[in-house]
Amino acid sequence: VTDDVLFTAPLMAPAGMYPGTVTGVEPVTVETAEGPKALIRWTVTVELEGGWAEPDALSSQLFTPKSKARKWAIALGVPAEQREVRASDLVGRECMAMVIEKDGGNTGLGDILPVPKKGGKAA
Q: What is the pLDDT of residues 23-42, one digit of tens each?
A: 999 999 999 999 999 999 99
Per-residue pLDDT averaged across 79-106, rounded? 93
- Contact present, 55 and 108 (Cβ < 8 Å): yes
3-state secondary structure of 103: helix
- Contact present, 99 and 14 (Cβ < 8 Å): yes
pLDDT exceeds 70 at position 106: yes
Q: Where are the alpha helices (DSSP H) in 63-105?
A: 68-75
Residue 75 one-letter amino acid: A
The pTM for the full model equals 0.85
pLDDT for residue 103? 83
Distance, CA of 17 to CA of 113 (rounded, Å):
10
- Contact present, 110 and 96 (Cβ < 8 Å): no
β-pair partners for 47: 52
pLDDT for residue 25? 97
